[in-house]
Amino acid sequence: MKFEINQAVEILENTPLVLKSLLGNLSEDWTKSEHNKEDWSAFDIVGHYIHAEETDWIPRAEIILRQGENRTFEPFDRYAQFEVSKDKTLDDLLETFAEKRRESIKTLKLWNLTEEQLNLKGNHPDLGEVTLENLLSTWLVHDLTHIRQIVTNLAKKYSVNVGVWKEYLSILK
């Protein structure tokens, strides 16, 4: 599938709605943080989405679009949510994420990006040279990756309870 901003925005705009629909009325038994850096809860993932909105996608796109002398991105702290989300509720996080995402999409749309701009390059501190199209595509796939992670973690909570049907439930494998 060829990258198209408008199609990417379809997914990016829907992510907060998907999360709110999936998680909004669940008890903490489903969503609470265990502060496990290897197996994030839904709470941790929503906190991670917020941190990425604030420090990753749009800030890195701005570095690429400026085409300044230094095009290297600041390193991204993949675990910042464990500290930043302390003392917040999941509802607080879901609302904050929705607000931050609206701001990001508004900025993205205002740029009216051209094919030429999508080919501009920046430097990832670990991965090297990337284009703006790579960054924006990754933003979308990042959203979907964590939605899958949330759903998988929710399903695992009943892994034992499904008994023999586990054989037919690929999400539990």
Instruction: For the chain, give every domain's residue range.
Output: 5-172
The whole-chain average pLDDT of the chain stands at 96
The CA distance from 114 to 68, in Å, is: 19
* Identity of the amino acid at 58: I
Helix residue ranges, H only, 24-67: 28-31, 42-55, 57-66
* Identity of the amino acid at 42: A
The CA distance from 30 to 113, in Å, is: 40
Q: What is the pTM of this model?
A: 0.95
| Residue 128 pLDDT level (bands cut at 50, 70, 90) | very high
pLDDT of residue 103 exceeding 90, the answer is yes
The CA distance from 23 to 33, in Å, is: 13
pLDDT of residue 123 exceeding 90, the answer is yes
The CA distance from 154 to 159, in Å, is: 9
**Which CATH number is associated with domain 5-172?**
1.20.120.450
pLDDT for the residue numbered 38 = 87
pLDDT per residue over 18-53, tens digit each? 999 999 999 999 999 988 888 899 999 999 999 999
* Identity of the amino acid at 169: L
Nearest to 132 by CA among 118, 151, 114, 115: 118
